[in-house]
Amino acid sequence: MRSHINTHAPLAHEVLAAVLQVRSDTLKVLLWRRALDPHLGRWSLPGGRLRPDEDVETSIRRQLAEKVDVRQLKHVEQLAVFSAPDRVPGPRVVATAFLGLVPSDVDPEIPEDTEWHDLAALPRTAFDHEAIVLRARDRLRSKLCYTNVGFALAPSEFSVSALRSLYSAALGYRVDATNLQRVLSRRGQLVPTGRTSPSGRAGGRPAALFSFVGEGVHITDPFAVFRPPPKRH
């Protein structure tokens, strides 16, 4: 059976970014609503065509600057290449996708056509963008286990309880705060700041504040895996 794909058609290249942030204890992704066909009205990842004079990371940072203050992105990494011949209607377009992370304590200004969406309840997305979002979620969950990438989700200083909430939102299950502190401290990721959080209305002992040791992703335990708690019957 003969293929209907035009093997002589020019190959276009685009870059896309799944920008993730924990907002109100929920892992969310930044999407914008398409104003043109194809897939008019569906939600899309920020990005666009690669220019002849730029590499893929330069391109995605340029295009993200139109949607979010890139100075507030703590981490950007190449995620995967999506190259199915029919991933978009019409001429073939290959996409290089990126994962971007924003700390939970910032609220970047975004355009009117752009919103943060819960990864557990994604709206109808354009093309293969849902698959890219889920790949980014899985990459984040994996790297939280064996690298220090948690620094890119967290404020500059935090209580262990607040960090537990961030990890729980990103991993999709409740993390034990004591175990999280023990694991990250053993790996040399956390350092006490010597400061405490203000007491809440109910009073009580102020919580000690910590920060991550440095920035820039590196492997801390190549074989580590955070495991969800066993289900109770």
What CATH number did the domain enclosing 165 receive?
1.10.10.10
Contact 32, 67 (CB under 8 A): yes
Answer whether residue 231 is part of any domain: no
Contact 103, 139 (CB under 8 A): no
104 shares its domain with 91: yes
Answer whether residue 134 is part of any domain: yes
120 shares its domain with 184: no
Crossing angle of the two packed helices 160-171 and 177-186, in degrees rounded to 10: 100
> How many residues are listed for the chain in this entry?
233
Residue 173, CA atoms < 13 Å, CB-side half-sphere = 9
Structural domain containing residue 49: 12-144
Contact 115, 122 (CB under 8 A): no
> First-to-last CA distance in the chain?
53
16 shares its domain with 119: yes
56 shares its domain with 139: yes
- pTM here is 0.91
Q: What is the pLDDT along the chain (233 residues), one digit of tens a residue?
A: 444 555 556 789 999 999 999 999 999 999 999 999 999 999 999 999 999 999 999 999 999 998 888 888 999 999 999 999 999 999 999 999 999 999 999 998 899 999 999 999 999 999 999 999 999 999 999 999 999 999 999 999 999 999 999 999 999 999 999 999 999 999 999 999 999 987 666 556 889 999 999 888 998 887 776 767 776 65
Four-residue CA torsion sign, 18, 22, 24, 27:
positive
65 shares its domain with 90: yes
118 shares its domain with 208: no
Domain total of the chain: 2
128 shares its domain with 178: no
Answer whether residue 224 is part of any domain: no
Task: Report the CATH number that the domain containing residue 37 is assigned in CATH.
Answer: 3.90.79.10
Answer whether residue 220 is part of any domain: no
53 shares its domain with 137: yes
Residue whose C-alpha is closest to residue 104's, from 147, 74, 79: 74
25 shares its domain with 90: yes
Answer whether residue 90 is part of any domain: yes
Contact 131, 103 (CB under 8 A): no
Contact 22, 116 (CB under 8 A): no
Domain boundary residue among 93, 112, 144? 144
Answer whether residue 202 is part of any domain: yes
Answer whether residue 2 is part of any domain: no
Instruction: Report the b/e string of 3-33 with b at 16+ CB within 10 A.
Output: eeeeeeeeeebbbbbbbbbbeeeebbbbbbe
